[in-house]
Amino acid sequence: MSTYQSDDMPAHKAIITERQIRRLCQAIADQFRPEKIILFGSYAYGSPRSDSDVDLLIVVPHKIRNTEMAMTIWRAIQPNFPVDLIVRSPDELVWRYQEYDPLIRTAVDQGTVLYEQSGPGVDSQS
């Protein structure tokens, strides 16, 4: 799986707020202009625990490996809470969805779109 998460991050003890997640997504959108950012996992489903991380699927055109792009995004935004960034190109997202990739299917089918390039942007309510 092409994700990036820092092992240097301290153990997280508090629930991360929706506002924090939306601000993070706005920072990603402003700097990288992804086609879409989808929140999935426990924060999307309303069941986070104090040790939960924020799972984001970022759909962005890129020409480097997914892990390299995830690291590039991570370094640029430097989140102060645990985040699991999963980066896919638009074409790879379609292909993996059609191939029934369980991670991609779960994120797309059950996740919450927080940013869509053709949409209004990240709603900063909360």
Domains and CATH numbers, the chain: 14-116 (3.30.460.10)
Closest CA to 63 of 99, 35, 87, 39: 87
d(CA 56, CA 44): 10
Digit-coded pLDDT (tens) for 36-58:
999 999 999 999 998 999 999 99
d(CA 124, CA 121): 9
Closest CA to 35 of 87, 109, 105: 87
Digit-coded pLDDT (tens) for 61-76:
999 999 999 999 999 9
Residues 6+ apart with CB under 8 A from 55: 39, 40, 41, 42, 43, 44, 83, 84, 86, 107
Percent of the chain whose predicted confidence (pLDDT) is above 70 = 83
What's the predicted TM-score (pTM) here?
A: 0.84
